[in-house]
Structures are given as C-alpha cells and as structure tokens.
Amino acid sequence: MSDETKPGLQSPLRRKLLMGMAALPAVSMLGRPAFADVPATSAVNTTGLAVTDSEVTVGILHSVTGTMAISETGSVEAEKLAIEQINAAGGVLGRKIKFIQEDGASDWPTFAEKAKKLLVNDKCAAVMGCWTSASRKAVLPVFEQYNGMLYYPTFYEGLEQSKNVIYTGQEATQQIIAGLDWVNKTKGAKSFYLLGSDYIWPRTSNKIARKHIENHLQGCKVVGEEYFPLGSTQFNSVINKIKLTKPDVIYAIIVGGSNVAFYKQLKAAGIDLSKQTLLTISVTEDEIDGIGGENIAGAYACMKYFQSLDNPNNKAFVPAFKKMWGEKTVIGDVTQAAYLGPWLWKLTVEKAGSFDIDKIAAASPGVEFKGAPEGYVRIHENHHLWSKTRVGRAKADGQYELIYETADLVEPDPFPKGYQ
C-alpha cells in the first residue's frame, strides 16, 4: 500500500522507520522478550495513532455515571477482561494494549465530546463503547470525521452502517424475525400484543415485528401496541387490556428499571408466565437481577447469548469474568458482545498487518472469532456480525435455559426490504 502514501509524508515516514529500526536492538538488550515477528511501528502505523514499539492505546467510552451506568458497567468489565486476556497472550502485533477510559455520563453531547478527545488528543487506535442508540448517533459523525474505529456492543434497531463502526451486537432483523418465527411455529401463536418503552429502539423493533407478523406469518395479527415513557412504573392499565384481549404472545421491549415494575405487576395481576407466553428482546440476565428471578420465571427471551450457554468457549469465559469482577456478577447479551470488541479488533489488526483505520475497515469483512463465548462469529461486509439467534426461558435463579437456537448463523441485514 506504500504506493498510496502521499509524497509529502515520505520523509517523516522514513525517519520514523529509521528510528524504529534503531530502537529495536536497544529494546531487546533491555531484556524485553524480543518477538521475532514484531513489525516496526512505522510499518504498522502510518497515520500517527498512539502506537509505540511496545504499546498501543485504545479507548473505552461508556457511562459509569448517570442512569445508563446500570447497563454499561457490564460492558466496561467485559472489555477490560478481553484486553487483559489479549495482553496475557502477547498483545496485538507484539504490543500490549493500554486503555484510556472516558465517562459518557449518560449524556449524548458528553459522549461526542469524549469521543473527539479519544480520537484527536489520545489518538486511540480503536474505541470500545456506547450503549444506547442515542449515544451512538451522537458519536458517529465524530468517528467519521476523525476516522476512528468504534466497536459497538448493543443489540439495536439497525438502519445504520458505517465504515467506522463494527456492530458486535445483533441488529433488529436477526433478533426479532427468528424469535417471532419460533414462537409462531412451536407455540402456534397467532395473536400478539406489542409493548415497549417510548424511544427509537423499541418503536423501530416493533415496527419490524408488526410487518413480519402481518405480512409474513400466516393468519397472525397484532391485537395491541403500546408505549410507555422511560422509567414508567405503572402498568396496571395495560395489563388489564392484555387480560381483555387475551393475546397468544405478549411481546415486550421494555427497558431498564421499568421492567421491574412490569414483571412484578404482571405477576401480581395473576398472569402466570408458565401459561401465558411472553417473549422479550430486552431482558438480559442483568435486568433479571433487578426484577427478581421468581417474578419473570417462564418468560422467553430472544437474543444471541445467555450466560448458561453450554460450549467450551463460554465455560472458560464465565469463570474468567467472575474471577475478575466477583462471583455475584451476571453476564448478559450485551456484556458478551462487548467482550467481542477487543478480540475482533486484535484479529482484524493482525489480518491487516496494520493499525491504520482504513486498512482495518477494509480487512474487517470475513474476520472470524472462533473463541467467542457465543460460539463463533464472523464479520459481514456490512460490518455487522453473522450470529446465531437463540431463545431462552427465564428460570427463578435468574438464568436462562436454552430452548432453541438457529441451525446456522443468521445473516445481518441492517436495511431489510419491506420492513421500513
């Protein structure tokens, strides 16, 4: 790719190259394990990122204060674990990962400002971060303008694709359509009541769900659709409506603390989730912690990862996570997706043989991570992941029991035709 380098950059490049080569023997004399295959910094970093001969800096950008801290804490923990493991295994291209953590404080302008800081001042080679769609939308122009790389972990509504983002969670069609097909086929469900918190993700997801139910499932219909303000704690009225309409499936995309109120009131109103099918795409093991397993036992969740998954990768991942962050921690879908970020980045850097953002963006499609706790993932041309969709049933101990998984990886399709 040296033919693409602008002539003006050649002399500093050569100087860096010489300095890098001069530094190598000196470093190896200090007793640092000399990796024969460690390439010179000037060769793997032509754009001035924070990469030295021994270190590479990445950013972690999540909310550790404010209302989103509850959800994002798990992501931070998973990313730190992945970084530690990668370092223990020799780092990336022979360089240890150092991270700079910034707090988005659950505030979208702050996210944008901190993203700029990580890219412009700290020259981070990659950033793992964001949770809500609102924060992602706020940092997206920053990543595109300053050419950074964001690894975004949350399942989200789709309708987005960027050269500067790798989406390690599922987009809407991967999560919704497979789940609805499953409930239609195995439970014979014909009528659906759609519920959600009132913002972009639940509304878009329910829009896709409604289209799928009405256009693609034979004889199925939506008998109700309702939204509640974020943080709402009163669901008695809608529960009465559910009793009146007697839907085969309650399809719930309520987020955060509202879930606690919803499931407690559902139980108190005499709706038994072992008889009434409820399918959610928003309650992970993290949320169950707050809801209480006994209140949600019997509900089905459709996502790509459960802590209880029985595979060798996950059996190594769960104890490692608990060892680092405490026995009592639980691991939800997003936490696992956040864990994928640093690993996918490492694999991509090694495939590209460079830290340069453009080369990483170009090398990403096709990158496989065989050690993923969810099993195996691969990056698609559209920068989303091929992944399996799974359905789990909540148990009273706060864990999900795997009920169903797709036979093959589901292709990500952030811009589904006929669903917009």
Partner 1 sequence: MFGDYSISDLGAILAMQGFAGLILFSVYVLMALGLAIIFGQMGVINMAHGEFMILGAYVTWMTSNTVQHIAPWLFPGYFFIAMILAFIASGALGMLVEWALIRHLYKRPLDTLLATWGLSLILQQAYRSIFGAREVGVELPEWMMGSWQATDSIQIPINGMFVMALTILITIAVAYVLFWSSWGKQVRAVVQNRVMAGAVGINTEKVDRYTFALGCGIAGVAGSAFTMIGSTGPTAGQLYIVDTFLVVVFGGAASLFGTIASAFSISQTQSTLEFFLSGSMAKVITLLTIVAILMVRPQGLFALKVRK
| Contact footprint for partner 1 (CB under 8 A) | 64-67, 69-70, 73, 198, 225-229, 231-241, 243-244, 256-261, 264-265, 267-270, 286, 289-292, 294-295
| Residues sharing a CB contact under 8 Å with residue 201, sequence separation 6 or more, in sequence order | 132, 133, 156, 157, 253, 255
How many Å apart are CA 96 and CA 345, to the nearest integer? 13
**256 versus 371: smaller Cβ distance to partner 1:** 256
- C-alpha angle 18/357/48, rounded to 5°? 35
**63 versus 168: smaller Cβ distance to partner 1:** 63
How many Å apart are CA 378 and CA 92, to the nearest integer? 19
> Which tokens in the block code for residue 259?
């879930």
| Residues sharing a CB contact under 8 Å with residue 407, sequence separation 6 or more, in sequence order | none
| Residues sharing a CB contact under 8 Å with residue 318, sequence separation 6 or more, in sequence order | 307, 331, 373
Dihedral angle sign, alpha carbons of residues 365, 88, 60, 52: negative
Q: Are 352 and 89 in contact (CB under 8 A)?
A: no
**230 versus 320: smaller Cβ distance to partner 1:** 230
* DSSP designation for 304: S
**181 versus 226: smaller Cβ distance to partner 1:** 226
Q: Minimal distance in Å, beta carbon 210 to partner 1?
A: 14
What is residue 197's three-state secondary structure? strand
How many Å apart are CA 233 and CA 238, to the nearest integer? 12
User: Strand 390-394 and strand 300-303: pairing?
Assistant: antiparallel
What is residue 386's three-state secondary structure? strand
**148 versus 332: smaller Cβ distance to partner 1:** 332
Q: Minimal distance in Å, beta carbon 66 to partner 1?
A: 7
Q: Measured in whole angstroms, how far is the alpha carbon of residue 378 from the centre of its chain?
A: 14
- C-alpha angle 382/388/390, rounded to 5°? 135
Q: Minimal distance in Å, beta carbon 196 to partner 1?
A: 10
Q: Minimal distance in Å, beta carbon 234 to partner 1?
A: 6
**105 versus 128: smaller Cβ distance to partner 1:** 105
Sequential DSSP letters for 92-106: BTTBEEEEEEEE-TT
**13 versus 69: smaller Cβ distance to partner 1:** 69
**259 versus 387: smaller Cβ distance to partner 1:** 259
